Structure 1
Amino acid sequence: MTQIQPTQETSAPQENSPPGPRTSPESAGQVSPGRPSMGRLVGLDLARALAVFGMYIVHIAPMPSAGNNLGSWVYSLAEGRSSALFATLAGFSLMLIAGRREPKTGLAGRQAKARIAIRAVILLALGTVLAMEYG
């Protein structure tokens, strides 16, 4: 049975290590076991893509013909559900920006509020343009 020795954090290079700067697991793209990952949430991105494609089907794609059962089924599945999913994910994203379970404070809190306000202004402008163009 093989035991793994913990790495020693000394400035002297070890015999079998390659020359050059030593990297920590965090700088090499690895996450230490004690810290949560701050990367992208793939499931959230996939759900957001599903919601966007659903809204595309409902708003832009041509209406399915009467004889097309699969097209009618996909349209009826996306109608209403995709916009509700998108709105739910928007709220979840705001929670992630604000600091997850414990809201950010200080400079990080002000930056989070600014990012939320910027998103709100962009969405309001896009919604207004779309309502004027297609409404």
Structure 2
Amino acid sequence: MDEEKEVGPKLLDAHEIGRLRQLATAVKADLSRSGLVVRDAGEEPDRQTAPGGLEIDLDQVDDEAGGLWLTWELHPDVRQSVREAVQQGRTSDPVVQASVDVHERTTEAIVCMLNALGYEAEQSNASHRPFAVRVLTRPC
């Protein structure tokens, strides 16, 4: 039998990917006009030194993790300090707790901003995307 088998994850259909790209463009424009630094995921070639700010990620996989996601990134120096503390088992270090607190509050604020701008957005409850915001729809 010469059945073709799909390899890898199933992607969203072209229509949904187009809708999400338009949504991403609108979100980036509106949040930039609101004063936030917004960049696309992977825009910075070196993840270790990428500047802080809001990162937009369009996940094209057709599963519960697919869609448009926003993540707040701290300054690279803070990310490095957190990484070192966690690697050394110092999870109660003040820099780690401050990082968690900032991410929690920033996530809440981004959802509030998007809602005020007419978007439907929600905080992530997925363990692989902690502190992320999922944008579902744009203003009518």
Fold conserved between structures, TM > 0.5:
no
Q: Report which of the two has the higher share of helix.
A: 1
Q: Which has the larger radius of gyration?
A: 1
Greater strand percent: which structure?
2
Normalising by structure 1, report the TM-score: 0.30
Relative contact order: is structure 1 or structure 2 higher (C-alpha 8 Å, sep ≥ 6)?
2
